Copies of this chain bind each other. A is one copy, B any other.
Amino acid sequence: MKGIGALITTFGVGELSALNAVAGSYAEYVPVVHIVGSPSTTAQRKKLLLHHTLGDGDYKAFTNIYKQVTVAQANLHDLTIATTEIDRVLRTCWLKSRPVYIELPSDMVTKDVPARGLSTPLDISFPTNDASLETGVAEEILSRLYGAEKPVLLLDGCVIRHHLKAEATEFVTKTGLPIFTTPMGKGTIDETLPTFAGLYAGSGSHDNVRELVESSDMVLSLGLMESDFNTMSFTYKLPTRNAVDLHTEHVTVEGKVFDLHMHGLLQRLSSLVDASKLAGKPHSEQVFDVHRAASASLPEASYPDSTITHAYLWRQLSKWLRPNDVLCTEIGSSYLGVWDTQFPANTFAISQTLWGSIGYTLPAAQGVALAARELGRPGRVMLFEGDGSSQLTAQAIGTMLKLNLDIIIFLINNDGYTVERWVHGMEEPYNDVPAWRYSQLPETMGARLGAGGNARAMQVRTRAEIEALWETHEFQNVKGRGMQFVEVFMPKLDAPVPLKMFCTRAEKNNSK
């Protein structure tokens, strides 16, 4: 939300509990500064047998672990280099857009260091490209674009993760070409732009989208990250002729690799492009049509019209969202469901596509809501979370309440791990979870319910009920109203079509 985050833990027990979360930030290119409070330099030098150690006097064991999931590490045990070390890791954190690790021994906390470093702004500018190479490659790319009959643009996750949203937006809007996003790229571009043409996810795309992308004679991609979730299990069929892929630190033009940073190259492309030379086709008008021929072989149940199904919920959500809303969707039903939701302008989207750690999104939404309040961001922060995944990190509800955060939580109760049922063991007990009474969670975790309180807790079972809820003033004006906690009952085996497609493929791949 703010571009960079921070996390403080104790050493050993604290930092290892946070390792999954930090590894997720590493995989997903999220810049996080992890500060670890460790025993005093004296205790470490004497190799004291302290609690929270492995008992072997090795005070490097945890740093060694963190080297696997951070791009820079510093131990502030030396006053003479402490401030330059801090600058070094902060700069690396930002430029690589990945977590870094700073160890702070307890006796160093109150030590004085020279303040002079503070008068020099931290240099976090992206590296400059070789100007003639940059211009040459930009002209080569533009010349191919000018020559193509049906060029399209594809925006993926690394654009937003590497802080290049503004540069990308300038270029793609200047061209006027049809714009597609991948699942991980959702939220990168304004989906109400007339040139926005839909979400491409290989065989998980809507038919008209897939046709437009795969029949194009030139796909120019930005920040592509072809992971299994993002590509519906590697079902992309992008034309290789004229393929141009701008990555963060290099670009490929029909197979040839050039050492150019996307930041400078995008700016160069924007300044050089002549939109009148482009033959962009208008996009289909049905970009959020849900027909997917590839899903025809999947089992499908029918439910009464009043039932809140995935086919209903995620398309309906398009009508409820407003500009500036922040949408946190847990990996699983919610993340794959939202492929069929059209985002208003300036929708901020949080999901963990690659790392996919269930339970991530609930505490992530806590951080998002706190940041939104601090930033004074207009719009609502809302979370869609499953019952199974909520049980991994439910504590965050207590912290949200303690901080009086404004947040709308939809906890989808579909009686266990529906994703895992679709992968393997539809009726197996290992996909069941303890039968929590979810709507009691806010009160149990400290909510003050009722007038003047900091939370409401509700259950909805029908479309009429959830639609009525959206009309309430608490949903329309969330600021200062605290938590709106909604337990949404959905059928146990219902799932968004892309989820069914993905899981069915995943089961096959697991046995190969």
Contacts and interface: CB of A to CB of B under 8 A. Distances in A.
A511 B54 contact: no
Contacts of A510: 39-40, 106-107
A386 to B, nearest CB: 15
A441 to B, nearest CB: 6
A430 to B, nearest CB: 10
B16 A354 contact: no
Contacts of A26: 54
B354 A227 contact: no
A226 interface: yes
A69 interface: yes
B40 A511 contact: yes
A512 B62 CA distance: 22
A465 interface: no
Q: How many copies does the complex hold?
A: 2
A492 interface: no
A125 to B, nearest CB: 25
A441 B444 CA distance: 6
A54 B69 contact: yes
B53 A434 contact: no
Interface stretch (A188-196, A249-257, A308-316, A387-395): A387-395
Nearest to A226: B49
Interface string A371-398: 0000000000000000000011011001
29 contacts: A12-B355, A13-B356, A16-B19, A16-B20, A17-B392, A23-B54, A39-B510, A50-B227, A50-B228, A51-B227, A51-B229, A51-B331, A52-B356, A53-B354, A54-B69, A55-B354, A61-B68, A61-B69, A107-B510, A107-B512, A394-B395, A401-B434, A402-B434, A402-B435, A435-B446, A436-B444, A436-B446, A437-B444, A440-B444
